[in-house]
C-alpha cells in the first residue's frame, strides 16, 4: 500500500502524458505521420544537435558563474554534471536530474547541496522569464493567423499567469539575495515557530547555505549577465528547432519557432511522464497548426524534434553518469539516497 502511494505521482504524470498525446494525435492517420518521417532529410539534425550542445555548454558556464561566489568550478567540470542533470530529468520522474546535479557537485567539488539547489532554482526562474518573453514577443503575430479560434486567448491567459508566478519568484529571490540578514531572520522565525525542534537545526543550516547560493544575485551586473546568458541559451535552442524544420517540407519564421519554444517549455512544467512526453508534443503541434502547417507534418516534425532534444543529451549524460559511478566506486543506490546527502551538507 505504501509503495502504491509513492507511485501515485508517477501514475498521475503518465495519465497526463497520455491525455496530451491523445489530444495532439487525435484525428491523424499515423501512417501519414510515419510516411512524412520516413521521407525527412535527417542530415539537418546534425547541425541542430551541435548547436544544442553549444547551448548546454553555455548552461554549464552560467552555472559556473552562479556558483562562483561559493567556489570556483570551471565550465569544463560543470558540463558533465549539467549533462547528467538533463539525463536525470529525461528518464526519471519529478525532475530528479536537478537533485542529481546538486549531489554530484557536492561529491566532486564539495559545494553544499542546499546552496547549489538555490542556483538551480535561480536558473529555472530566469529560463521561465525568457520563455515568457518569447511568448509575448510573438503573440500579436499569432493572433493575426488564428483569429478567434480561442487558442490565442488560452496562450495569453497562460502567459499572464506564468508572468505573475515567475516575476514574483524572481522578486523574492532577488530580495533574499540583496537582504540576506533580513531574509535569514524571517526564515529563522518561521522555522522555529512552525517546525518541530527535532528538525530545526537541519533546516536552519539548510536555509543558511541556500541563502549563500543566492550570493551571485547581489550584484545588478550579475543579474543582467545571467539574464543575457539565459536569452542566448534559448535562442540557440530555437536555432535547433530551425535546423530540424529544414528536414521537413514546411517553413515558418524564426519568430514562430521562438513562440513554439516558449510555449512548449512552459507546458513542460505541467506534471507528466519522464521526458515531458505529451506536454511537449501537444502544444508544439498546436502552434504549428495555428501557423498553417498541415497537421500530419506538424506532428512528424514535433515528434522528431522531441526525440532529437531527448536522445543525444540523455546518452551523453548517461555516459558521464556511469563514468562517475566507476570513478568513485558508487552504486546506483548510493546516488539516489539524496535525502541523506541533503542532511549531510554541513
Q: Where are the alpha helices (DSSP H) in the chain?
A: 2-25, 30-38, 45-67, 75-91, 96-109, 113-146, 151-178, 180-194, 197-212, 220-245, 254-267, 281-290, 295-328, 332-335, 338-343
What is 117-143 written as a DSSP string? Answer: HHHHHHHHHHHHHHHHHHHHHHHHHHH
User: Under a CB-based contact definition with an 8 Å cutoff, are residues 137 and 263 in contact?
Assistant: no
End-to-end CA distance of the chain: 35
How many CB atoms are closer than 10 A to CB 341? Answer: 18
- Give the pLDDT confidence of 103-115 residue by residue, as tens digits: 899 989 999 999 9
Minimum mean pLDDT among 28-32, 79-83, 186-190, 326-330: which range?
326-330
User: Under a CB-based contact definition with an 8 Å cutoff, are residues 259 and 138 in contact?
Assistant: yes
Q: Report the pLDDT value the prediction gives residue 339, as an integer from 0 to 100.
A: 46
> What's the rounded Cα separation, in Å, for the pair 175 and 178?
5
> What's the rounded Cα separation, in Å, for the pair 265 and 149?
22
User: Under a CB-based contact definition with an 8 Å cutoff, are residues 190 and 183 in contact?
Assistant: no
User: Under a CB-based contact definition with an 8 Å cutoff, are residues 292 and 251 in contact?
Assistant: no
Minimum mean pLDDT among 14-18, 88-92, 144-148: which range?
144-148
* 343 pLDDT tier (thresholds 50, 70, 90): very low
Residue 78 has pLDDT above 90, yes or no: yes
Per domain, the residue ranges of the chain are: 21-343
> What's the rounded Cα separation, in Å, for the pair 25 and 299?
7
Minimum mean pLDDT among 73-77, 159-163, 190-194, 273-277: which range?
159-163
> What's the rounded Cα separation, in Å, for the pair 222 and 69?
11
* 4 pLDDT tier (thresholds 50, 70, 90): low
Q: Report the pLDDT value the prediction gives residue 345, as an integer from 0 to 100.
A: 45
> What's the rounded Cα separation, in Å, for the pair 130 and 279?
19
How many CB atoms are closer than 10 A to CB 181? Answer: 8
DSSP secondary-structure letter at 73? -
pTM of the model as a whole: 0.89
- Give the pLDDT confidence of 179-206 residue by residue, as tens digits: 999 999 999 999 998 899 888 888 898 8
The residue written with cell numbers 514535433 in the block is 302
Amino acid at each position: 500500500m505504501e509503495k502504491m502511494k509513492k507511485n501515485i505521482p508517477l501514475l498521475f504524470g503518465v495519465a497526463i502524458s497520455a491525455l496530451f498525446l491523445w489530444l495532439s494525435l487525435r484525428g491523424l492517420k499515423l501512417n501519414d505521420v510515419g510516411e512524412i518521417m520516413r521521407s525527412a532529410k535527417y542530415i539537418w539534425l546534425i547541425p541542430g544537435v551541435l548547436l544544442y550542445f553549444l547551448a548546454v555548454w553555455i548552461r554549464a558556464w552560467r552555472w559556473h558563474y552562479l556558483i562562483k561566489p561559493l567556489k570556483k568550478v570551471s565550465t569544463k567540470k560543470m558540463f558533465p554534471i549539467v549533462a547528467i542533470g538533463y539525463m536525470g530529468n529525461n528518464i526519471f520522474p519529478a525532475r530528479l536530474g536537478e537533485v542529481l546535479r546538486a549531489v554530484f557537485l557536492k561529491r566532486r567539488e564539495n559545494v553544499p547541496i542546499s546552496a547549489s539547489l538555490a542556483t538551480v532554482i535561480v536558473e529555472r526562474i530566469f529560463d521561465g522569464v525568457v520563455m515568457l518573453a518569447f511568448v509575448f514577443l510573438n503573440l500579436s503575430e499569432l493572433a493575426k493567423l488564428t483569429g478567434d479560434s480561442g487558442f490565442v486567448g488560452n496562450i495569453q491567459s497562460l502567459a499572464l499567469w506564468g508572468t505573475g508566478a515567475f516575476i514574483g519568484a524572481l522578486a523574492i529571490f532577488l530580495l533574499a539575495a540583496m537582504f540576506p540578514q533580513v531574509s535569514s531572520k524571517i526564515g529563522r522565525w518561521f522555522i522555529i515557530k512552525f517546525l518541530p525542534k527535532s528538525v530545526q537545526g537541519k533546516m536552519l543550516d539548510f536555509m543558511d547555505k541556500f541563502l549563500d547560493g543566492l550570493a551571485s544575485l547581489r550584484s545588478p551586473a550579475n543579474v543582467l549577465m545571467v539574464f543575457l546568458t539565459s536569452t542566448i541559451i534559448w535562442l540557440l535552442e530555437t536555432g535547433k528547432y530551425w535546423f530540424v524544420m529544414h528536414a521537413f517540407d514546411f517553413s515558418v519564421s524564426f519568430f514562430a519557432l521562438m513562440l513554439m519554444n516558449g510555449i512548449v517549455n512552459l507546458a513542460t512544467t505541467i506534471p507528466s511522464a519522464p521526458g515531458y512526453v505529451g506536454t511537449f508534443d501537444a502544444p508544439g503541434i498546436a502552434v504549428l497548426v495555428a501557423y498553417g502547417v498541415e497537421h500530419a507534418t506538424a506532428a512528424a516534425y514535433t515528434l522528431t524534434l522531441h526525440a532529437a532534444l531527448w536522445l543525444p543529451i540523455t546518452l551523453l549524460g548517461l555516459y558521464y553518469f556511469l563514468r562517475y559511478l566507476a570513478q568513485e566506486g558508487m552504486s546506483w543506490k548510493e546516488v539516489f539516497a539524496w535525502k541523506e546527502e541533503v542532511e549531510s551538507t554541513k
